[in-house]
Amino acid sequence: MSAPSQNQHIIASGKIILEQEARAIHLIAERLDERFSAAVELLAACRGKIIISGMGKSGIIAQKIAATMASTGSTALFLHPADAAHGDLGIVDHDDIVICLSKSGTTEELNFIIPALRQIGAKIIAMTGNQRSFLAQNADITLDTDIEKEACPYDLAPTTSTTAMLAMGDALAISLMQQKNFTQRDFALTHPKGSLGRRLTVKVSDIMAKGEAVPVVPESASVTDLILEMTSKRYGVSAVVDRKGALCGIFTDGDLRRLVQSGKEFLSLNAGFVMTANPKTVTSSTLAKECLDILETWRITQLLVCDAEQRPVGMVHIHDLITLGL
């Protein structure tokens, strides 16, 4: 077989496998019924933990489902059924819900702990392709993940069946997330290291320069002093304040260039005369993302941070925000 025809054969095989798995998801979606809504409502009302368990490849899928639920507002964790039978059942409480994954519903390690879960009082949701199995018959709710066949040519290696379980797990997790009104901000709190987390949790107070680092002069200061303050603090800008320390204007390197280009004598003037009134400002509680939006909208590179009395207390530069990865 030539190389081009070999490649085409591999591609064709890959397409068939993907189509088989896609068909499996389509079929379980068609069979979805009130048992699914009952499962979501049961999970939404859970006062304890959501514990997901499975053996082998189903166990790997169970771990992924647990991780998805944990990151979308539910207290969820994975429990290995073999470890559970040797003491780890101690983490299960009567307020918990245990989701059990098994293609056949006859997984020995999983079924061995079912009576104990019943005695503890935990609710059981089964995810299986065998509705007549021991697992299905002993669960409070059984979700149907039956498939026609595995993508494996020998119908042996868990492939299509685990895809069906994974898809059902995602459907449970996202439906549960919606039931709980889990927001983007909630998501950010569980993903503080991610880009969204930084956008929705980092505030101006976390990144602003403050104290002596903030360039400030009184409105009575000379333009010479104003320029010295602006250049020494290296922001290319200085706040101008009134007698009470409240912001009344701002002077930037752009303002200085325009003064020089005007050809007029300006060194004898005071800061209040050359400043730009009503500059854009933020508060220390402003989110970093909002701050970046203001900078980009107005095409400026820095913002003064003012307190409730409009006194400058900080400075945020666009480079600080870019460094955060916003």
Would you kindly state where each structural domain of the chain is located, as residue ranges?
3-182, 201-323
- Token code pair at residue 104: 């056949």
Please provide the average confidence, as pLDDT, over all residues in the chain.
Answer: 92
Q: Which residues contact 226 (CB under 8 A, 6 or more apart)?
A: 217, 238, 240, 251, 271, 274
CA distances (Å), 167 to each of 21, 23, 28, 61, 91, in order?
A: 10, 12, 9, 10, 27
The separation between the first and the last C-alpha atoms of the chain, rounded to the nearest angstrom, is 52
- Determine the average pLDDT of the residues in 265-275: 92
Just give the CATH number of 3-182.
3.40.50.10490
Whole-number pLDDT of residue 100: 98
Whole-number pLDDT of residue 197: 63
Contact by Cβ (8 Å): 274, 226: yes
Q: Which residues contact 37 (CB under 8 A, 6 or more apart)?
A: none
The rounded percent of the chain whose pLDDT value lies above 70 is: 95
Residue 125 phi, psi (nearest 5)? -110, 125
What burial letters (b/e) apply to 186-204, b meaning 16+ CB within 10 Å?
ebbeeeeeeeebbbbbbbb
pLDDT bin (cut points 50, 70, 90) of residue 83 is: very high
Q: What is the pLDDT of residues 185-212, one digit of tens each?
A: 777 677 666 666 666 678 899 999 999 9
DSSP assignment string, 126-142: EEES-TTSHHHHTSSEE
DSSP assignment string, 268-314: TSBHHHHSBSS--EE-TTSBHHHHHHHHHHHT-SEEEEE-TT--EEE
User: Residue 285 above 80 pLDDT?
Assistant: yes
Whole-number pLDDT of residue 81: 97
Whole-number pLDDT of residue 192: 66
User: Residue 29 above 80 pLDDT?
Assistant: yes
Whole-number pLDDT of residue 295: 92
As assigned by CATH, the class of the 201-323 domain is: alpha beta
Whole-number pLDDT of residue 320: 84
Q: How many CA atoms lie within 13 A of 28 on its CB side?
A: 29
Whole-number pLDDT of residue 288: 86
CA distances (Å), 58 to each of 2, 77, 101, 165, in order?
A: 39, 15, 6, 8
Whole-number pLDDT of residue 183: 80
- Determine the average pLDDT of the residues in 36-55: 98
In this predicted model, which residue has the larger pLDDT, 320 or 124?
A: 124
Whole-number pLDDT of residue 199: 64
Contact by Cβ (8 Å): 110, 104: no
Q: How far apart are CA 175 and CA 161, in angstroms?
A: 21
Contact by Cβ (8 Å): 58, 103: yes
Q: What is the pLDDT of residues 149-179, one digit of tens each?
A: 999 999 999 999 999 999 999 999 999 999 9
User: Residue 2 above 70 pLDDT?
Assistant: no
Whole-number pLDDT of residue 190: 72
Q: Which residues contact 99 (CB under 8 A, 6 or more apart)?
A: 50, 51, 52, 53, 62, 65, 124, 125, 126, 127, 172
* The amino acid at 54: G
- Token code pair at residue 118: 């019943």
Q: What is the pLDDT of residues 89-140, one digit of tens each?
A: 999 999 999 999 999 999 999 999 999 999 999 999 999 999 999 999 999 9
Whole-number pLDDT of residue 193: 64
Lowest mean pLDDT among 13-17, 40-44, 86-90, 318-322: 318-322
* The amino acid at 228: L
- Determine the average pLDDT of the residues in 232-259: 94
Instruction: For strands 141-144 and 209-210, give the pairing.
Output: unpaired
In this predicted model, which residue has the larger pLDDT, 112 or 2?
A: 112
pTM (2 decimals)? 0.69
